Amino acid sequence: MLQLTIDGKRVEAQEGMTVLEVAGSEGIIIPTLCYHKALGPYGVCRLCIVEAESPSLRRTVVASCALKAREGLVIETATPRIISMRRTLVDLLLSGTVPSSPLKELARTSGILREGFRPERTDQCILCGLCVRVCRDSIGAGALRFAAGEENRYRVAEGIRLEEERCVGCGTCAAVCPVGAIQVKDCAEERDIVVYGETANRLKLESCSCCGAHYAAQKFVDRVLSRIDEELRAGIRKLCSECARRYYAEALTGFFPVEIKKVQRTSGTEQRP
Ligand code: SF4
Ligand code: SF4
Ligand code: FES
C-alpha cells in the first residue's frame, strides 16, 4: 500500500490507482468532465486539476485523472490557485456551448454567477471526446469522430459526426455523454440516435422471443451474436433482460419447466408521431 496525503488527510492507495480514484474512494470530490471509469484518462477538460508535491516533484498543477498515486505525494484539491483556474475553465466552456444542467451546476459551485452567455455553439457538446472514445475503444464500432479531426477538435463549430453504416445502435455514447448532447430515443419498433437534437441514425429494434418487448437494436444483437461460437449461437434465445432472468432462474433451479410461456407485454416505447 502507498501512503499519500490529500487535503491534509493521510490516505492509503493501491499501486496503479490515480489520484482522482484515491480521492473518490475517500469521499473527496474532484470535478471531472472527460473522465469515465470505463476508459483510460484523456486529460482534455482539465477540470480535475490539483496541486501536487513530493520529495521528487516540485509543487505543480496536474490533472488528477492522469496522475498515478505514489508514496509521499501531497495533494491539495481546492487551493485558491486551483479554484481560480477551474473557474476560468468553466467560464471558457460556458462561452463555447449552450449550458447544460451539469455545466450550470459546475458554474454555480465554481462561483460563476453571470447569466446570458452568448455561446459560439448551438448545442451542449463540450467536445470532451468520451463518446468518440467509447464507440471506438469499447464498442469497436468507430462510428463517431470529431468532424475536424482529432488534431483540430477545438474547432468549435464542427463538433462530432456519426457514420450510420458503422453505428450499431448500442446507445453507449449517450450513456457516457456528461451533458446529454447525444440521446437515444426508442419509439415503437425503432431506435433513434440523436446527436445535437437531430436524428443521426435510425435502427430497427429486436423483439424478445418470449414477451415481444423491444430490448436492443437488431444490428447490435447481430453483432454480439456474430462474435459467439456458431454451435453455441444456435442455442441462444433472443430474450429481453427480464425474460432472460426468469428463463435462467427456472433453468437453474430445475423446479419449473425451462420452456416459458409466451406473455403479453407492451413494449413501453412511445408511438412515433
Ligand atoms: S450508438 Fe452508435 S455511435 Fe453510439 S456508441 Fe453505439 S455504435 Fe457508437
Ligand atoms: S457529444 Fe457528449 S460525449 Fe461526445 S464530445 Fe460532446 S459532450 Fe463529449
Ligand atoms: S477529468 Fe481529468 S482532464 Fe478531464
* 10-residue averages of pLDDT along the chain (273 residues): 95 95 95 91 92 91 96 96 93 84 86 66 87 95 85 63 96 96 94 94 94 93 88 82 85 61 48 57
Please give the sequence-ordered ranges of beta strands (E in DSSP) within the chain, or none if there are none: 2-6, 9-13, 49-54, 57-63, 74-76, 144-146, 160-162, 182-187, 190-195, 198-207, 214-217
Q: Does 34 sit in the ligand 3 pocket, CB within 6 Å?
A: yes
Kindly give the distance from the C-alpha atom of residue 121 to the centroid of ligand 2, in angstroms, as a whole number: 13
- pTM for this structure? 0.83
CB burial of 31-66 (b: ≥16 within 10 Å; e: otherwise) equals bbbbbbeeeebbebbbbbbbbbebeeeeeeebbbbe
Distance 39 CA to ligand 2 centre (A): 14
Ligand nearest to the CA of 127: 2
Q: How far apart are CA 234 and CA 108, in angstroms?
A: 55
Tell me phi and psi for residue 49, to 5 degrees: -60, 145
Query: How far apart, in whole angstroms, are the C-alpha atoms of residue 68 and residue 112?
Result: 31
Say if ligand 1 is within 6 A of residue 135 CB: yes
Residue 47 CB–ligand 1 contact under 6 Å: no
Half-sphere exposure of 56 (CA within 13 A, CB side): 3
Question: Which ligand ends up closest to the CA of 89?
Answer: 3
**How many CB atoms are located within 10 Å of the residue 148 CB?**
17
Categorise residue 64: left if φ over 0, alpha if ψ from -120 to 50, beta otherwise: alpha
Secondary structure E strands in 136-272:
144-146, 160-162, 182-187, 190-195, 198-207, 214-217
73 CB under 6 A from ligand 2? no
State the closest ligand 2 atom to the C-alpha of 128, by its place in the atom list counted from 1. 8
Q: Ligand 1 centre and the CA of 131: distance in Å?
A: 8
193 φ/ψ angles, rounded to the nearest 5 degrees: -100, 115
pLDDT for residue 210: 87
What residue ranges of the chain are covered by domains with CATH 3.10.20.740?
2-78
Rounded Cα–Cα distance for residues 94 and 271 (Å): 36
- Residue 57 forms beta bridges with which residues? 54
- Residue 229's pLDDT is 85
- Helix 101-109 and helix 80-96, axial crossing angle in degrees, nearest 10: 150
Q: Return the pLDDT at 268.
A: 46
Which residue type sits at 187? C
Please give the grid coordinates belonging to residue 129.
471526446
Write the Ramachandran bin of 8: left for phi over 0, alpha for psi from -120 to 50, otherwise beta: left
pLDDT of residue 231: 80
Mutate to test the pocket of ligand 1, among 162, 172, 199, 220 (most ligand atoms within 8 A of CB): 172
- Reduced DSSP (H G I as helix, E B as strand, rest coil) percent helix, strand, coil of the chain, to 5: 30, 20, 50
Q: Which of 36, 131, 170, 201 to mutate to test the pocket of ligand 1 (most atoms within 8 A of CB)?
A: 170
Contact 258, 174 (CB under 8 A): no
162 lines ligand 1 (CB under 6 A): yes
pLDDT at position 106 is 87
Start-to-end C-alpha separation, the chain:
58
Number of alpha carbons in the 13 Å side-chain half-sphere of residue 43:
8
CATH code for residues 2-78: 3.10.20.740
